[in-house]
Structure 1
C-alpha cells in the first residue's frame, strides 16, 4: 500500500487529506495542534464557550466546514490523524515524529508538507523585553484561551494580520492602545489594482480598518520600546510627518505579514529561492506543488496566498500526488490560484518589509532574541568572515537559538547586505538543521521497536 503522509492540518492539509481520502487512500496526517484547523482556524479546547462567530468573524462558516470535514474523515477511519506531534527530522524516506508516545519513525512513499507560515518580524530596539510578542502569539492566546496578553496593547508592523488581530482584540473587549503600520498609505493605494483581484476581501479589510478609527496610523517609524522589569511601559514612534510620539502600554505585538515555514521543506531537499518581493527565501515548486520526487508543498509554506489559497493548493498538491501514482485527476483550481497570486503580489507591495529601517538599526539593537546577539555583533562578524549567513551564524551565534533563525534571519540578512554592499540574496540563508523542533534528550536515546513505527491506516 502506498504510504502518503501529510504534515500539517490547517486548510491546506485538510483539503489534501480530503482529496486523497476521496480517491481511496488513507493518509497519515501529522499535526502539532491538539485539534485540526491550523493557525487561521485554530480551535479552542473542548468545552470552550465562545462561538465560532466570535473566534473567526466573517470566516466562521468556512472554519466550521473545514473542522467538520476533517473530524468526519477521522471518525470514518478514512485518515489517520496524529495530533500533538512534531516532525523533527527527515531522512531516507522516514519522518522522525515526536508525539505523545515519544520519538517514532514514520516511513512514507509520498510526502505533502502543509506547514503554513510564521510571523515575519523586524527587530525594534527593546523588543527583547518580556511582554513583547508576535501578532501570531497574540492571536493564538485570544483564539485558544480567550486571553488578551495585556490591558493596554500596542500592535505594530504591517500587513493584513495587523488589522485582523487588532479588530479581533477590539471585538473581544481588549484594550488596544494603538495600531501602528509602517507601510505608507501611498504604497497601499498604489497596490489597489492588484488587490482588486479579491474585491470582497479587500473591502472587508478596509471595513475592519475603519472600525479601528483613530487607533490606526499608517506610515509610522518605530523607534524603540521602553520597558521595566514587568514589561513594556511605552512605545516611541514617529508619525508619517516625522513628529515624535509616545504611546504608554503594557504589551506590544509585532508582525510584518508572514514568512513561509520552510524548515521541513529544506530538510526534505526542496530547492529554496530568494524572493525579493517578499524579502525571504521560499521553496520552488511547479504550479501543482511538486517540489521533488515524491515531495509536494501546499499552503503558506509554499506561497503566501491566505486560507482560501491554502485550501486550493492543498487540493492541487493531493491531485499531483494522485496523478504521479497513476490515478488521473483534473486540476480545475489552477485558474483561481493565479488570481490569488495577483492578490498576494498586491499585498506584498502594499505592506513591504521595512528593509531600510532594519539595515539602519543601531549596533546596540538586539537582532537574535534567543541568543541576545546585536546588530553590531553581526556587522563585526561580517567584517571578519565575510557576509555569508552561515559563516556569520558560526562566528556570532546569531540564529543558533531555539527558533533556529526563523525570527531573526530576514533581519540579519538585510543588515549583512547593507554592511557589505551586496544584495540580500547574495548573503544566502541560514541552513535548516534537525531537529526542526526542540526535543528532550531522552527521546533521542530511546530506540523504538519496529512495532512502534507509524504506519498508514492506524497500524503499528
Structure 2
C-alpha cells in the first residue's frame, strides 16, 4: 500500500472485520487497529489465548455461535493480507492522523482513508449507591464472563433496560451463576406495543422471547416497570432496592453482592468528533450521531463510519454496514467492487440495513430509558465519579442561571472533564440539565470530545525519583 493510499480501520468487531474482508478481496491491504487482544469486538469477544480456562463457542455465544465462528475464521484467514495491530488504543484523531498507544508506546498512524468501527458502550444513568464496589455495567459483566471466565458476584442482580439485560442474565445462568433477579425499568405494555416492528426480524424477536421464557422457567425473578432503583451497602454491595409498578411509596429489597446495570447502549463517537465530522441529533438513539449518507460516508472526505459507532443497530447490521462502507471507500478510490461468495452488492446491503432499522425502532420503543429519572436523584448522589461532582452541585449551577447548555455546565462544574471524558457521566448530566430547564435534549448542545478519548498512562520513562521530567526537545514548546 503506497503512502497515497493508506487505509486504516479502527475496530475489529463485526463491522471492522467485514470492512477488512471487502477491501482485501479488492486487492487493498488495510491497517486494522484493535483495542482488544483478539478480534471479535464485544458481541463476539474471544477469551485470552492463554486464559487458563476453556469454554466452547456454543457456551460463549449461544445462538450466535455460528456467526461468531464465521467472523473469527474470516479474520484469521485475512491476517496475512492486512496489517493487524491488536492491543492498540486509538486515543486521538486529527486531519490524516490517528494517535495510538500500544505496549506503552505512542505511535502515530497516518491515513488517507479511515473507517471508524468503534462500536458502542453502556448507557449509564446513575442510581444511589452506583459507586459502591460490586456495581458493574452490563457490558462489564459480559466481559468478565467471556474474557475472564468468571461472574461479577455470587448472588447477582441485573437491572436497567434493553435487550442486553435479558441476554446477560441468560448467559450468566447458563454458565452456572446465580442471578437473583432481573429488574427492568420498561413496562411490559411498552414492549407489547413494539411487537409489530420487532416482528420484522422474526428469528431475532423469537430469540428475545426465548431468553425471557427460559429465565422464568429456571426460576429467575423478573420484575418490569420498576423505578427508584438504589444499591445499598457499606463498603460494598449488600442489596438492591426498588419500587414496584404502581407503587408510589413501598419499596422492595433483595440481597445481592453484585449488580450489573445499564440502560441500553450508546455509540462511541469520540473519534468521529475529533476528526471534525458533522453531527445531528437522533431521537431514536437519544444522542448526537455523525451525519452519514446511506453508504457510511461522513461529512469529512475519506472518513467513513460503520457499526454501532454510527448508531445502535446490532451485530448483523454492523456486518452489513462494514461491507457497505468498504464499498463506498472503493468507489471513492475508483476500484471495482470485488465479486465472490458472501460479498453482496451495495443495493442488497442497503436493503438489509433498512429492514434492521425498522426492528431497531421497535427496540428503542420497547426499551426506552426511564423518563424523568433525573428528578429523583438525591443531591448528594455522585453523577461524575472522576471529578466527584454530585447532583446537587449541578442543580445549583443550573438553578442559579449560570448554565443552560451542556458545555457551559461542564466548564463550571468539571462534569465530564475526568478520565472518562464524559463517556460515563455525559448523558446523566444532560438528562439532569433537561429536567431542570425543561428543554429537550437536542436543545442543550453536544458535549464536545477531547483527547484522549480513553485514559492513557504516562510513560515511566518520563519519571525520575517520582518527579516528571520533560524531554529536552519539548522544554521550549
Could you tell me the TM-score, scaled by structure 2's length?
0.91
**Secondary structure of the equivalent of 2:239?**
strand
Q: State the 1:36 CA deviation.
A: 0.3
Q: State the 1:272 CA deviation.
A: 1.7
Equivalent residue, structure 2, for 1:437: 454
- Partners of 2:145 and 2:296 lie apart in 1 by 32
- The answer to whether the aligner puts 1:218 opposite 2:235 as a matched pair is no
Q: 1:303 pairs with 306, 311, 318, which one?
A: 311
Equivalent residue, structure 1, for 2:380: 364
- Partners of 2:264 and 2:32 lie apart in 1 by 27
Q: State the 1:440 CA deviation.
A: 2.6
The answer to whether the Cα contact below 8 Å between 1:409 and 1:429 also exists between their aligned partners in 2 is no
- The answer to whether the aligner puts 1:283 opposite 2:300 as a matched pair is no
**Secondary structure of the equivalent of 1:337?**
helix
- Partners of 1:272 and 1:35 lie apart in 2 by 31
Alignment of 1:122-137 (within 5 A): 122-137=125-140
Q: State the 1:30 CA deviation.
A: 0.2
Q: 1:313 pairs with 321, 324, 348, which one?
A: 321
The answer to whether the Cα contact below 8 Å between 1:90 and 1:268 also exists between their aligned partners in 2 is yes
- Partners of 2:396 and 2:268 lie apart in 1 by 29
Cα distance per residue 1:100-155 (max 9 Å; x no partner): 26101111000000000000011111111111110000000000011101011110
Q: 1:340 pairs with 335, 356, 363, which one?
A: 356
Equivalent residue, structure 1, for 2:60: 55
**Secondary structure of the equivalent of 1:142?**
helix
Instruction: Point out the more displaced range, 436-445 or 154-163.
Output: 436-445
**Secondary structure of the equivalent of 1:429?**
coil
Q: State the 1:446 CA deviation.
A: 7.4
Q: State the 1:360 CA deviation.
A: 3.4
- Partners of 2:165 and 2:128 lie apart in 1 by 20
- Partners of 1:293 and 1:328 lie apart in 2 by 19
**Secondary structure of the equivalent of 2:429?**
helix
- Partners of 2:158 and 2:378 lie apart in 1 by 22
The answer to whether the Cα contact below 8 Å between 1:222 and 1:237 also exists between their aligned partners in 2 is yes
The answer to whether the Cα contact below 8 Å between 1:154 and 1:253 also exists between their aligned partners in 2 is yes
- The answer to whether the aligner puts 1:257 opposite 2:264 as a matched pair is yes
- Partners of 1:446 and 1:183 lie apart in 2 by 54
- Partners of 2:178 and 2:418 lie apart in 1 by 32
Equivalent residue, structure 1, for 2:17: 14
- Partners of 2:11 and 2:329 lie apart in 1 by 16
**Secondary structure of the equivalent of 1:301?**
helix
The answer to whether the Cα contact below 8 Å between 1:94 and 1:108 also exists between their aligned partners in 2 is yes
Q: 2:144 pairs with 141, 144, 147, which one?
A: 141
Classify 1:324/1:421 alpha carbon distance in 2 versus 1 (closer, same or farther; 3 Å).
same
Q: State the 1:277 CA deviation.
A: 2.4
Q: State the 1:409 CA deviation.
A: 1.1
Instruction: Pick 1 or 2: higher relative contact order, CA cutoff 8 A, min separation 6.
Output: 1
The answer to whether the Cα contact below 8 Å between 1:279 and 1:410 also exists between their aligned partners in 2 is no
- Partners of 1:389 and 1:122 lie apart in 2 by 16
**Secondary structure of the equivalent of 2:233?**
strand
- The answer to whether the aligner puts 1:82 opposite 2:85 as a matched pair is yes
The answer to whether the Cα contact below 8 Å between 2:104 and 2:457 also exists between their aligned partners in 1 is no
- The answer to whether the aligner puts 1:373 opposite 2:393 as a matched pair is no
**Secondary structure of the equivalent of 1:355?**
coil
The answer to whether the Cα contact below 8 Å between 1:16 and 1:318 also exists between their aligned partners in 2 is yes
Instruction: Point out the more displaced range, 179-188 or 397-406.
Output: 397-406
Equivalent residue, structure 2, for 1:233: 238
Q: State the 1:362 CA deviation.
A: 2.2
Equivalent residue, structure 2, for 1:179: 182
- The answer to whether the aligner puts 1:30 opposite 2:33 as a matched pair is yes
Classify 1:428/1:447 alpha carbon distance in 2 versus 1 (closer, same or farther; 3 Å).
farther
- Partners of 1:59 and 1:152 lie apart in 2 by 26
Equivalent residue, structure 1, for 2:402: 385
**Secondary structure of the equivalent of 2:266?**
strand
- The answer to whether the aligner puts 1:196 opposite 2:213 as a matched pair is no
Equivalent residue, structure 2, for 1:327: 335
Alignment of 1:61-76 (within 5 A): 61-74=66-79
Instruction: Point out the more displaced range, 283-292 or 374-383.
Output: 374-383
The answer to whether the Cα contact below 8 Å between 1:359 and 1:411 also exists between their aligned partners in 2 is no
**Secondary structure of the equivalent of 2:331?**
helix
Equivalent residue, structure 1, for 2:440: 423
Classify 1:359/1:241 alpha carbon distance in 2 versus 1 (closer, same or farther; 3 Å).
closer
Unaligned runs of 5+ in 1: 449-460
- Partners of 1:446 and 1:274 lie apart in 2 by 43
- Partners of 1:34 and 1:205 lie apart in 2 by 30
**Secondary structure of the equivalent of 1:385?**
coil
Equivalent residue, structure 1, for 2:466: none
- Partners of 1:53 and 1:222 lie apart in 2 by 37
Q: What is the aligned-residue RMSD (CA, Å)? A: 1.6
The answer to whether the Cα contact below 8 Å between 2:227 and 2:243 also exists between their aligned partners in 1 is yes
- The answer to whether the aligner puts 1:413 opposite 2:440 as a matched pair is no
Unaligned runs of 5+ in 2: 338-344, 463-469
- Partners of 1:258 and 1:142 lie apart in 2 by 19
